[in-house]
Amino acid sequence: MTIATRNAGDEVRVEALGSVGYIRLNRAGSLNALDVAFCEAIDSAVLRFERDPGIKVLHISSMLKHFCAGADIAEMSKMSAGQAKASAFVGCVREVPKAKKPVVVAVNGIAAGAGCELVEMCDVVVAAESARFMHPEITLAAMSGAGGIQRFARVAGKHVAMDVMLTGRALTASEAHAAGLVSRVVADDDLFEVSRQVAERIAGHSGPVARRIKATINATQQGIEQGLVDEMNAFQQCFAEPDFREGLEAFLQKRKPAFRMI
């Protein structure tokens, strides 16, 4: 599979203001769909701020109408099962969940599939009232591969996770808040300012203590490491199944899929 070279500076806007590192997603024309190159640009920005001793907190947001439409379906449709396995493909970023510094995310509009996984990787989630959170992978005969099932089920519980993952339905911002996926809900016009204030408030505290608090809370998520491996392997298995290929083709052709596997 060939990955097109693009200007990552246009798609991921990076800025350090005080002790906060801002990462703004701006892949216009694709609703911030996460193809490999875009994910690598986001990961590069995360690593830059992780290594910067002057940065205490990371802040992720979208410059578009929506936060993220999910993995790039067109790119996935060209990927074989062997390529997915060999590259440990998960359809999302890799460095956000590894970040030792707190990560605040501002979510507007749709956060779907891998876009929702990106949200779930963050530490404090500020959502606009218009935000919608969904895992529609099953409608393509697919599933989460970057930890969406593991992280969602741990915050929302088994039954809400089953409902969302097996139906593909969207949660409103208030539903996501009630489920534990969202930290706070604010008016759309206030989203960036409130999330910025949250990031700056955290950055105003001791950096080492904030990182230890994050690490200690994450340590309560027992068994997640093996769960992430199991989820990735289960996701990659989809690439070898005809229903998944049908789901991808139907999506790109804007038609209803005809699944045949029982």
Domains and CATH numbers, the chain: 8-188+207-252 (3.90.226.10)
Residue 107, strand partner residues? 127
pLDDT at 3: 37
Query: Which of helix, strand or coil describes residue 42?
Result: helix
pLDDT at 185: 98
Phi-psi region of 90 (alpha: psi -120 to 50; beta: other; left: phi over 0): alpha
The dihedrals phi and psi of 155, each to the nearest 5 degrees, come to: -95, -35
pLDDT at 8: 57
pTM for the full predicted model: 0.93
DSSP summary character for residue 67: S
Phi-psi region of 180 (alpha: psi -120 to 50; beta: other; left: phi over 0): left
Burial class (CB in 10 A: 0-12, 13-18, 19+), 86: exposed
pLDDT at 7: 59
pLDDT at 73: 92
How far apart are alpha carbons 34 and 90 in whole angstroms? 10
The dihedrals phi and psi of 25, each to the nearest 5 degrees, come to: -85, 130
How far apart are alpha carbons 120 and 188 in whole angstroms? 20
pLDDT at 6: 52
pLDDT at 59: 98
- List average pLDDT for each run of 10 residues in the chain, which is 262 residues long: 50 97 96 96 97 98 97 92 92 97 98 98 98 96 95 96 97 97 98 98 98 96 93 94 93 92 83
How far apart are alpha carbons 202 and 124 in whole angstroms? 10
Burial class (CB in 10 A: 0-12, 13-18, 19+), 249: middle
CA 152 from centroid of its chain's CA atoms? 11
How far apart are alpha carbons 4 and 30 in whole angstroms? 15
